[in-house]
Amino acid sequence: MATSAVPDLNAAGLKRDASLEQFRLFGLSFPALALVVVVLVIPVAWLFVLSFVGADGAFSLENYTRMVELKSYRRIFLITFQVSFITTALAILAGYPFAYFLAQMPPRIANLFMIAVLLPFWTSVLVRTYAWLVLLQKQGLINQWAISLGIWDEPVAMVNNMSGTLIGMLHIMLPFLILPVYGTMKAVDQDMVKAASSLGASPTRAFWSVYFPLTLPGLFAGALMVFILCLGFYITPAVLGGGKIIMVSMKIVSNIELFVNWGAASALGVVLLVIAGIILWAAARFVRLDQLAGGGH
Amino acid sequence: MLSWLGSPATQTQVTHGARLWLYALATLMVLFLLAPTLIVIPMSFSDSQYLTFPPERWSLRWYENYFDSPQWMLATRTSLKVAVLTTLVATPLGLIAAYALHTARIPAVRAAFVLLITPMLVPVVLIAVGAFYVYVRLQILYTVTGLVIAHTVLALPLVVIVIGSAFKTYDMAQENAARSLGAPRWKAFLTVTLPQIRFGVITAALLAFLTSFDEVVVAMFVSGGDNPTLTRNMFNALRDQIDPTIAAISSIMILVTTTLMLLAQRFGGRRSN
């Protein structure tokens, strides 16, 4: 008994030391965490409180009932979801095959084509949105060329509307889909596909029943990231939508810049955040959050 | 050519011919992804108020406009200052946080990670409005300090993720070996670990720089006065009319981005997924 009591005592001390050490290590993340709390958590909590303050300064739910009652607000949410859904769908349709192409090419060629994904990814969103504005406007390049080639006669309105917004958003969002999908595709064991085909599966069958399911986690992570980013997007719809496509984020800005209505803006922000939170929470069972950013490009 | 079409592209006997659609689609995608941005560069040398391609007459007038304008120069200086400071703050903060999350064995690590990447998931408009509200009260609205703090928060998720994935490919046993030989933890980290994850750190630093330099929405709210950022002024100019000076500035920004990206590819080339 006595001989084993000494190591036990020691073990308790060591254990305490070890957990103290772990906590000290963890403490290294405190400066970063503190900054996030000061700039993000506290202000957002503050906005949450503001959203329950009515025009008369007393507690009120008017900022929330307004969203349900006013048709203009319902429309804003409808457009936000519409733009987000369509952009995500287009990004999947265009991005998945491109990621597949990258994954199938020998590394040297794939790296070259990767520039096409990484260069836009790194380039300022504002610059890219501006580029589309220049290309798509009435006197823009695409109209000039289409008319001189006789594809259409009159300048077509491709910007300051839904189509311009969608083109611009798709361009911004594609890398967010392609990178995680490419990541999971590279991790797929090619022997699985070979095994399927040696067992008699046609290439199409092998793709859909073996390869595609194995890449779903990446596709899911990418689509989720695109959708969440779209929900709160501001610059591209503001520049390419021409005031016709009003998304929630734009209404938040105009509520503050034009109407100085903090309550209304805050309530919109809270609703936007709650929607994004619910989607992420539901998705967290299927996808690891650190996969969202494409694993660190 | 014909024999190439019939030759197998994969080990499961799919021919190149059967894959032509995939190659065609890839070509279209490259065009869609690259052409719009790159075409701005030649257009910025156009003499005309209406940007044309190819330009009828070449001229540097939009570049002169930019470099001769005190407002644009002030905004450029602010943006550079803020971006450099953000890089200098966000990179070390993110580095030690990523180290903590990688090495500490306590349950709170997961929650801390989620909190650190929330700035990437919360709509940036909300962060901008919140920062504006707080900054007015702290009296740091329209200051470099305020911008650097906000941009650091926006850059942290990327820094933590990029450096975190660098840690995952690094064998911690090496640092432990150094420590068991008597090196204090900080020394073992600086002399053994850091040199081996440096590519991740460099990439993270470049990303932090670009996050700040390209940021628009937060800058719209908390920059201005004596410290407007370049992107804030560009965005305002875009809303008013299409000033071709923006094309010149955009071209310069594309050049800077491309250079940084190629540097990252070259020095961060050993990054892993």
Question: pLDDT at residue B64 above 70?
Answer: yes
Q: Which of B33, B265, B273 sits opposite A117 (nearest CB)?
A: B33
Residue B190, chain A, CB below 8 Å: the answer is no
**How distant is the Cα of A1 from the closest Cα of chain B, in angstroms?**
32
Chain B residues with CB-CB distance to A123 below 8 A: 37, 214, 253-254, 257
Inter-axis angle of helices A162-187 and A212-231, nearest 10? 140
| CATH class of the region A70-291 | mainly alpha
Rg of chain B over Cα atoms, rounded to whole angstroms, equals 23
Of B40, B112, B213, the CB nearest to A29: B112
pLDDT tens sequence across A151-174: 888 888 888 899 999 999 999 999
Instruction: Count how many residues are written for chain A.
Output: 297
Those of residues 124-183 in A touching chain B at CB distance below 8 A are: 124-128, 130-135, 137, 139, 141, 144, 171, 174, 183
Kindly list the residues from chain B whose CB atom is less than 8 angstroms away from the CB atom of residue A96: none
CA distance B77 to chain A (A): 17
Which residues from A are below 8 Å from B13, CB to CB? 197, 203
The answer, yes or no, to whether residue B164 has pLDDT greater than 90, is: yes
User: How does residue A297 score in pLDDT terms, banded at 50, 70 and 90?
Assistant: very low
Q: Residue B186 contacts by C-beta under 8 Å, 6 or more apart in sequence?
A: none
Q: Are A171 and A132 in contact (CB under 8 A)?
A: yes
Q: Is the pLDDT of residue A295 over 60?
A: no
CB-based contact (8 Å) between A195 and chain B?
no
- Alpha-helical regions (H) of A28-124: 30-36, 42-50, 62-69, 71-104, 107-122
Task: Report the share of chain B in percent with pLDDT over 90.
Answer: 70
Supply the pLDDT for residue B69.
Answer: 94
- What pLDDT shows up at residue B68? 95
Q: Which of A89-93, A107-111, B164-168, B266-270 has the lowest mean pLDDT?
A: B266-270
A262 contacts in chain B (CB < 8 Å): 133
Q: Rg of chain A over CA atoms, in angstroms? A: 26
Is residue B141 pLDDT above 90, yes or no?
yes
A 49-68 residues inside an 8 A Cβ radius of B: 50
Average confidence (pLDDT) over B161-184? 92
pLDDT at A289 over 70: no
**Backbone φ, ψ for residue A53 (5° rounding):** -105, 125
- Please tell me the predicted confidence (pLDDT) of residue B272: 41
| Residue A102 pLDDT > 60 | yes
The answer to whether residue A200 neighbours chain B at the CB level (below 8 Å) is no
Q: How confident is the model at residue A286 (pLDDT cuts 50, 70, 90)?
A: confident
Q: Which of B36, B127, B133 sits opposite A135 (nearest CB)?
A: B36
CA A227 to CA A222: how far, in whole Å? 9
Write the residue in B33, B114, B231 that is nearest to A120 by C-beta: B33
Instruction: Tell me which of A19, A26, A80 to substitute to probe the interface with B (most B C-beta atoms closer than 10 Å).
Output: A26
Which pair of structure tokens corresponds to residue B152?
Answer: 């650091």
pLDDT band at A57 (very low <50, low <70, confident <90, very high): confident
**Per-residue pLDDT reduced to its tens digit, A238-277:** 999 988 899 999 999 999 988 888 999 999 999 999 999 9
| % of chain B exceeding 70 in pLDDT | 95
Give the range among A153-167, A221-235, B1-15 with minimum mean pLDDT.
B1-15
What domains appear along chain B, each with residue ranges and CATH number? 17-59 (no CATH), 71-267 (1.10.3720.10)
pLDDT band at B273 (very low <50, low <70, confident <90, very high): very low
Name the pLDDT band for A293 (thresholds 50, 70, 90). low
Alpha helices in A188-247 (DSSP H): 190-198, 203-206, 212-231, 235-240
Cβ of A258: how many Cβ atoms within 10 Å? Answer: 8
Which pLDDT score is estimated for B1?
Answer: 63
- B133 in A contact zone (CB under 8 Å): yes
The predicted-structure confidence for A198-212, as pLDDT tens digits, reads as follows 898 888 898 999 999
Distance in Å, alpha carbon of A136 to nearest chain B alpha carbon: 10
Average pLDDT, integer, range B221-239: 91
- By residue count, chain B amounts to 273
Q: Do B97 and A126 touch (CB under 8 A)?
A: no
Phi and psi for B8 in degrees, rounded to 5?
Answer: -70, 140
Q: Are B22 and A100 in contact (CB under 8 A)?
A: yes
* Contacts across the A-B interface (CB distance below 8 Å): 286
- How many angstroms separate the CA atoms of B169 and B271, rounded? 9
Q: Poorest-confidence range of A84-98, B9-23, B74-88, B131-145?
A: B9-23
What is chain B's mean pLDDT, rounded? 90
pTM as predicted: 0.90
Mean pLDDT over B52-76 rounds to 90
Report the sign of the C-alpha dihedral through residues B11, B14, B20, B23, in that order: negative
Is A32 within 8 Å of B149 when comparing Cβ atoms?
Answer: no
Contact between A232 and B14 using a beta-carbon 8 Å cutoff: no
- pLDDT, one tens digit per residue, over B80-92 is 999 999 999 999 9
Indicate if the pLDDT at residue A4 is higher than 60.
Answer: no
Encode B76-110: b = buried (16+ Cβ within 10 Å), e = exposed: bebbbbbbebbbebbbebbbbbbbbbbbbeeeebe
Q: What does pLDDT average to over chain A? A: 89
**Residue A5 has what pLDDT?**
53
Q: Please, which residues 153-172 of chain B have a Cβ atom closer than 8 Å to chain A? A: 153, 156-158, 160-162, 164-166
